[in-house]
Amino acid sequence: MENQTTYRYQIVTQNVDFTLRATIDSLGNYILNTAGNDAQGKGFGVDALSPMNYTWVLSKFVLEIDSRPEQFTDFNLTTWVNKNSRLVSTRNFELSDLSGNVFCRSLSQWCMLDYIRRVPVDLQYIESSYKNYICEAPSPCDLPLRLRAIEPDVVCEHKVVYSDIDFNSHMNTMRYIGLMVDMLDIELLRSNRPLRLDVHFMNECIYGQTLKVGMQTLENQTLFEVTRDDGVVACRASFIWR
């Protein structure tokens, strides 16, 4: 469809876990890096926004995985922007093998932030570059779930270190997911269990902060909440096991 763009990637050795399948966060990284590169190529990436002191901030992220691909698998990643409100841009993703079988669907909601005034910006300010790329195709998965405070069974501490941070000195988005996945029952990962992941990014974490990662295990669902050392909730997540 018009305004859907497809990129080709390969699952490399650095992406796989002990089962030799791509990790959840490596698939998330392909998705988010593609979001950045696609926006840049179409004239509304962070590079185009930065002269106005604007940037994109990821607010909600959904990832549905039917099966994680094996090492050296080539795959197509198709992305498109649809349904826009004044303050939220929705970007969608579909990952498929070279026969066209979709194995992963994703939806992301972004706000444009004025990083000097620390306020959200109306998307009309970039309408000229942006509106030409809006696509009518529906999102490939349901909208983000509501995620409420949890009652953790287990809490792990994590200090934000060098390898966690991005060029803003903020904790990298996918590192939150990585920390959560490391707390899961490893059998869920060994068995390549299909899942739906919802993440709400609420407040950023910076280098040197100590985080508490709380996990609550329900039947067929695992909930997480990451709290900073000042008590502020950084993010919440839900893994639904299918």
Binding site for a copy of itself (CB under 8 A): 12-14, 17-20, 23, 25-26, 29, 33, 36, 161-163, 165-169, 178, 181-184, 186, 189, 207
The minimum distance between CB 170 and a copy of itself, in angstroms, equals 9
Residue number, 161 or 218, with CB nearest to a copy of itself? 161
Pairing of strands 74-84, 89-97: antiparallel
Cα 151 from Cα 155, distance rounded (Å): 10
Count CB neighbours of 114 within 10 A: 15
Residue number, 141 or 224, with CB nearest to a copy of itself? 224
Judge residue 110's burial from the number of C-beta atoms within 10 Å of its C-beta, 0-12 exposed, 13-18 middle, 19 or more buried. buried
Residue number, 173 or 227, with CB nearest to a copy of itself? 173
Q: Quick one: which H or E segment has residue 217?
A: strand 210-218
The minimum distance between CB 158 and a copy of itself, in angstroms, equals 11
The minimum distance between CB 123 and a copy of itself, in angstroms, equals 25
The minimum distance between CB 14 and a copy of itself, in angstroms, equals 5
Residue number, 4 or 19, with CB nearest to a copy of itself? 19
AA letter at 69: P
Closest Cα partner for 59 from 26, 93, 32, 83? Answer: 32
